[in-house]
Every structure is written in C-alpha cells, then in structure tokens.
Structure 1
Amino acid sequence: MDLNYLSPYIRVAWDSIIDDPFHIHTRVIFDYEILYVKEGELEVTINDTVYYGIPGDIFIFKPKEHHSIKLISNSRLHQPHIHFDFFYQEDSQEVKVSYKPLHMMSDEENKWFRTNIIPDMPNHIRLHNPGIIEKLIFDIINEMERKLPYYEISAKGLFIQLWTELLREYHWMQNKHLVSNFKQLELVKAYISRNTDREVTLDELAEIANLNKFYLGRLFKKTYGVTPIHFHLAMRLEKAKQLLQFTTFPITIISEKLGFSSIHAFSRAFRKFEGVSPSYYRKKS
C-alpha cells in the first residue's frame, strides 16, 4: 500500500468498556477494524486460528474474515476500537458495522464487502511500543466524539500516523535483530548528520556503533533502505541543494564546504542523485 495515496474513512471510533461476560459470536465485517486491548484478556478466533490478547495488544480484523471475540479474564474489558475504510468510497457512509455471520448477509449487504488490500498484515500484534499507538487511538476517538470543525481531516491525519506506527511495529516483528541494535543505528545516523562537511568511511561508522562494518551495512540498509555511505552522501547533497538555492556561494565553494575532493566529483555525485548539474539546479530554483 502506498501511504501517499491513503485517504481513510473512519466509520466509527469507540472507547468501549464492558463487564464480564462478553462474547461476540462468529461474524464477518464489511470493512476493517483495529481493536486495542487496554484492559482484560481476550480469546480471539480468526479463520480458525486462535489468538490470546493481553493489554497492549492490537487485533486487526479484515473484510469477510470469520472471527469471534471472547473475554476470558474475570475483569472488565476495555477495548477502544476503530472501524474504517482505507480509501473513501461512494458507499462509505452507507456501510454499517456488522455482527452477522456470512450466511446471514443479504444481497445488498454482500455488495458492501471491501477488497482485502492488506493480506500480509498479521491479525495480532503484540506491540513493542504500545504508548504511542494507544495515544493515537484515543486521539482519533476524541476527534470523532467532539466533532469540532474539520474533525474529519484531523482524524484522517491521526489515522495515517496510527497506520504508519503499526507498519513499523510489523517491521520490528519481522526483524527483531534490528530492535536490539537500534540504538547503535541511531548513533550512526546522528554522527552522519553532524559530519556532512566531509566524507566518512564505513570503518569509521562501525567504530562508532561498535559493530562489524559488514553487519552494520546490512542492518542499516534493512532499517533505512540504503547503505550508511549512501545515506551520508544523500545528506551532503541535500545540504548542497539548500546552499545552491538559498545562498550565492560559488559552486566551487559549496563543493569545498561539503568535503568533495573536487568540483568534478561534486558535480558527478549531484547529477547522479538529482539528474541535473548543480548549476542547472541553481538556475531553476
């Protein structure tokens, strides 16, 4: 899913508190639902797979998935949850929250089912950092309940933040070794940011992180999508763009300020990243 095109429609956002006993029997929903376990323990069955939810867990229910929810602790259930479409559709305002099994759906209701566009996203996530996600969920609920001017836009923005955090949590689930080395990676990024005026080496960065340089390179690329040296060069060239656009420094001086060995090396790197020469970029800025 390309988040650049995400335009969610939030159907309902509830802060639900229920005393024992609580049991939603097998049903399917037309849209998507995010359920956060704030208090209580749940047994959740989704397409015949049984999950156990504890405080700090997230459940994601997808269109047409058979699921049931049962409180299994002897305490109340606090379960803020959100029903939504990832993209606004013509019938978004007509679609209801379903409590029916699939065989009880009418022909009209069968038209409401959304296409599942997140088949690989897990149904159950044990959050690494529940505080951020919990706050975003309650912020969305607050916006939807208060209905201040432009609340729909605010809720959309909060939802995009929420979904981004859930994608990050999924990423950490798949790459637990990144979590254990995240502080070292952040140290490397901070060091790179402070040294945009010269070249840095992988050996130098590995010493900062206290990691093998080849392992560091793989970790960094897995986390940020590029190697640390590529990331450093991109930051230097971003600084170059600022200097070209907002100062009158000659291009040779800009090249020197950013630690390039020559104006030719600077021009080659700039053209490779931006597709144009530094002088052309300045002229068009």
Structure 2
Amino acid sequence: MDGQLEALSYIGINSREAWEVSAHIHDHFELCYIDEGRGWFAVDGRLMQVSAGDVFVTKPGEIHQGAASGDRPYRLYYAGFRLNGMPGLEDDYYRLGRSRVVTDGDGIAKALFDQLFRELMEPQPHGALVARSCFVQLLVQVIRIYTRQSPDRESRSAVGMPPVVKELLEELHALEGGRSGIDALAQRHHVSRTHLEREFKRCLGLPLGRYMRELLVERAKYWLRQPGHTATEIAERLGFSGLHAFSVFFKRHTGMAPADFRKSALQATTSTQ
C-alpha cells in the first residue's frame, strides 16, 4: 500500500449473490457498505438486518460475521483500516455504540467509496494524495452519519481519550488474551484502579467492569459455537480457574449453562442450513 494510504489495510468489493463469511475477528477496524441487495450482519452475537444504503463498522477484536439474504444480486464494499495516526478519529470509532447499522441517506459514503476505488484502480497524477483524501473524508462522513442516527453512540467527542484508556482497549480486544482483574490491569498500566475506572467511564460512558464482563461473555459464546473445543478447554483459554468457575460465570450472565447454550446454538445452525 502506498505510504499515503498507510492507514488502509485492504479494500474491495464483493458481488457474489450467495456471499457468506463465518465468524471471525480482526486486529483493526472494518467498514462495510451495502451497495445492492440485502443481508444480515452480526457483531458479538447481536444480529442486524442490512440492505442497500446501509453502513456498518466493526472494532478491533469484535467477533463478527454476515451473509447475503434472498435471491437478489448482492454487492458489498469493504475496507479494513487502522487509525493510529488520527487519534481524534480513532477515539470516535472506539466510542461507537451497540447499534452498529446506519443508513447513508444522502449517498455521500457511496460516492466517496466509488471515487476511492477509481483513484486506486485507474492511476492518475498524484492519485495517492486524492485517494488518501477520499479515504479520510469517508471515515469522517461515516462518523457523522453515526452521530446523527445512532441512539446509543457515546457523544463524547470533546473528551480526549488518554493513552492509558486506548492501550487498555487494545489489550482487552487482543485476539488472544486471558481473563484479568481490574487491579492487575491498573498495575500493568501503572495507574491506580480508581483512576483507571474513572477515566474509562469518562471516555466510554460505561463502567470498566461491565465492559469486561460483556466482552468475556461474547468471547465465551463464540468459542462455544465452534466445534472441536470442550468447555474445559474454553474455560482455560478464557483464563478461568476451572470448568466450574466458567460455568457459574456463564450461567449468571446468560441464564444458560455452557452445555445448554452450545446445544441451542448447534440446533439454530442446523435449522438454517
């Protein structure tokens, strides 16, 4: 990728009518735009319907999947990106709430995506500069769409995200990471527990403990849906002291034992095939 587009990890178009992607995770953000057709998208177990004109974003470490629906043509734009050099914009993307699907009502996101593709596929003088401009404008316009439409987005743009919170989010969303207590996290980041919890709540709008529990529950659900892993192995992977501790935690927060959830998930998968 050209040095002017270092933030862009990949970009492409999928035009397969029967498109489907299984549950997976990235260590970067991903932006998708539905240009044609309809389908569904799930992030950390939350299912959302999508159709032409819809935009959705996943954050680093979020488990997500999706597929086209029906027999109509389906066309999806997608781009993976990092925002290390744009701290204000990165903060806003990390603050996106649980309602992740919004609509590009005025077509600005589509127009910028189309121009970006043209600049990348049909090289012109200083095309990299134009492409980078289009890409940054696209990211900003998407945040503006979320600001207007998403009811649960944290409207805290004026609150800067300190390095300790950003580093903590990166750690919590690491592709492989064990279960850790808040005291241990605070010690690793060289701050007091009180300071860490206060700054996290100030920036993200919800308690650190709740954020960690919800993330751990979704991780557990993800692994329970995957064949070939026993509940004991999953408990160990997630940092629990044993199967009993894992089972108590999972049932407390989902109302189901791990074995019952796995059985239900398997039945749901079988019924959709």
Q: Over alpha carbons, which structure has the higher Rg?
A: 1
Q: TM-score scaled to structure 2, two decimals? A: 0.47
Q: TM-score scaled to structure 1, two decimals? A: 0.45
